[in-house]
Each structure stands twice: as C-alpha cells, then as structure tokens.
Amino acid sequence: MKIQSSVFENNQNIPKKFTCDGADISPPLKIFGVPKNAQSLALIVDDPDAPGGTFVHWTMWNIPVEILEIQEGVTPAESIEGITSFGTTGYGGPCPPSGIHRYFFKIYALEDKLNLSDDADKSQLFEAMKGRILDEAELVGLYKRNK
C-alpha cells in the first residue's frame, strides 16, 4: 500500500497553505494498493517532534475503501473524524513552535469498519485497530514556521 500527495513529496516541505500559517486545510492525499479484502481505511496524522510529546493533527476512520483520493480540505462521506491534540475534530495543520517538525500521514487498511464515536482520540483509535490492520503506509511532510 502507498500514500502520496500531489502537493509535497515524502520527506519534503508541506506547503504553507496546509498549515496554521496559511488556510489550514488538509492536503490532498492519494492511496494506492489497498488490499482487496479491506473493508475500511483509517488515517492518523501526527508530529512526534512536538515539545510535549507526539501531537495529533488529524484522525479519521471508516473511510470507504473506494476512496482512492482524499481531496484537499474535504472529509470523505461516511468517514468519522476523531479528537486531535487541539481538542477538536477535523484537520489541524502543522504549527510548530520552533525548528523543523516531521508530520506523519499514516494510512491503515482494516479488515472491517470500526465502532467508534467521534469523541475518540488517537489512542482509542489505535486500540480499536489492533488485530484488524491488513496493511499500512506512511508519507512524511516537513514544516518550519518563518517567524
């Protein structure tokens, strides 16, 4: 399985538009090679370089397997977004306090849909995915604020 974006390459800079310094909307993502027996997809975007520990920028699950592209600024129909480290649901773009941070866009192919409400956080999502992951892929974007 593979995940890519048309606006940044792996280990390259995320454009300002998709950060707190721009429009703060989610970047477009393309998903390739989803296993035939997968029933849903899940997405986690986090920053392990945050000063207080890993900061969660976006979680989403029950993404239909037919969705091969998550469009810019769009949550696919039927998908559920969970609570981020911002304390809200939905995408929150990169906004590092200092230095270059890495943002991991991780996609998971699951054997079934998850029974989680939209007040679930990353740890609850990860717990629900245990034993159900068929394949996974990641894309890393970089961002440094110009202050």
| pLDDT tens sequence across 82-110 | 999 999 999 999 999 999 999 999 999 99
pLDDT of residue 146: 81
How open is the CA angle 132-142-95, to the nearest 5 degrees? 95
Instruction: Enumerate residues 6+ apart whose C-beta is below 8 A from 59.
Output: 42, 43, 44, 45, 81, 82, 83, 84, 120, 121, 122, 125
Question: For the whole model, what pTM was predicted?
Answer: 0.96
Which pLDDT tens digit goes with each residue over 6-53?
999 999 999 999 999 999 999 999 999 999 999 999 999 999 999 999
Asked whether residue 147 carries a pLDDT value surpassing 80, the answer given is no
CB of 29 within 8 A of CB of 105? yes
Asked whether residue 125 carries a pLDDT value surpassing 70, the answer given is yes
CB of 93 within 8 A of CB of 127? no
Mean pLDDT, residues 60-75: 95
The runs of H, that is alpha helices, within the chain are: 122-129
Let me know how many helices (H) and strands (E) the chain has, helices first: 1, 9
What CATH number does domain 2-136 carry, 3.30.110.60, 3.40.1190.20, 1.10.3720.10, 3.90.280.10? 3.90.280.10
pLDDT of residue 7: 98
Please count the residues of the chain: 147
